[in-house]
Amino acid sequence: MFEEIDQLKNHLDKLRPLDPRLVKNQLNDLILRWTYHSNAIEGNTLTLLETKVILENGITIGGKTLREHFEAINHREAILYLLDIIQKNEPFSEWLIRSIHQLILKNIDDEQAGRYRTINVTISGASHIPPDHTSLIDKMTQFIEWYHSNARTLHPIERAAKIHAEFVGIHPFSDGNGRTSRLLMNLELMKAGYLPCILTVENRLDYYQALDDWMTKKETKTFVQIIADAELDALKQYQRLLGF
């Protein structure tokens, strides 16, 4: 499943360091598309162009809610925070997860930002029922302990997929779990030297179904394949740009 991905990554690694102008251009494109798709998956109605205008010009879009504007701005800030985390080599921790979530809900729900839920919730449209809120401390502690003990036995793509899916299964926050999980997934990919990948709103139904199957049937292959396909798309974009 990962052979072509690793071959392309090796080709890309041989060309590093890349031209700073290319890196800057690709980062701006990544921030825009990642922000648009991750928010759109959760129901944000901003178009790709509207998201671009907000992020690059700070212009308010008529007919769109203040929350939708903040979701775009906050997501960009969360991506920049991930890059800072990588540069500083900060360890994976509950504090890091809470900090990411706090950025996601900034100016949207400051009272709940970075705080585990104190109520029981359901995931709309999913068969999986998240754990009782009273068990969240234990669940998150186990999640972090798994990461620092057994996670390294997995291929980085599979590890990133598991981080995403298991986090969504725990659903520790009352809101913003999906965005946070995709940020955590890409943080792991980037830490391992892979490219961040974008899960598109066009594939939302397959994405949701694969996540639900992971949590209810322990069927993990489909979701891992979705992440692998997205990573392959990201690498092929660089292949086209650099001709390797």
Residues with a catalytic annotation lie at 171
Q: Which of 116, 230, 130, 136 is nearest to 176 (CA)?
A: 116
Whole-number Å distance between alpha carbons of 219 and 85: 32
Q: Taking the alpha carbons of 63, 68, 74, 78 in that order, is the dihedral positive or negative?
A: negative
User: Which among 190, 132, 193, 184 has a CA at the least distance from the CA of 162?
Assistant: 184
- Which residues are CB-neighbours of 240 under 8 A, at least 6 positions away? none
Burial class (CB in 10 A: 0-12, 13-18, 19+), 79: buried
Across the chain, the runs of DSSP E, i.e. the strands, are none
For the record, the structure tokens of 79 come out as 């991506």
> What distance in Å separates the CA atoms of residue 101 and residue 140, rounded to the nearest whole number?
14
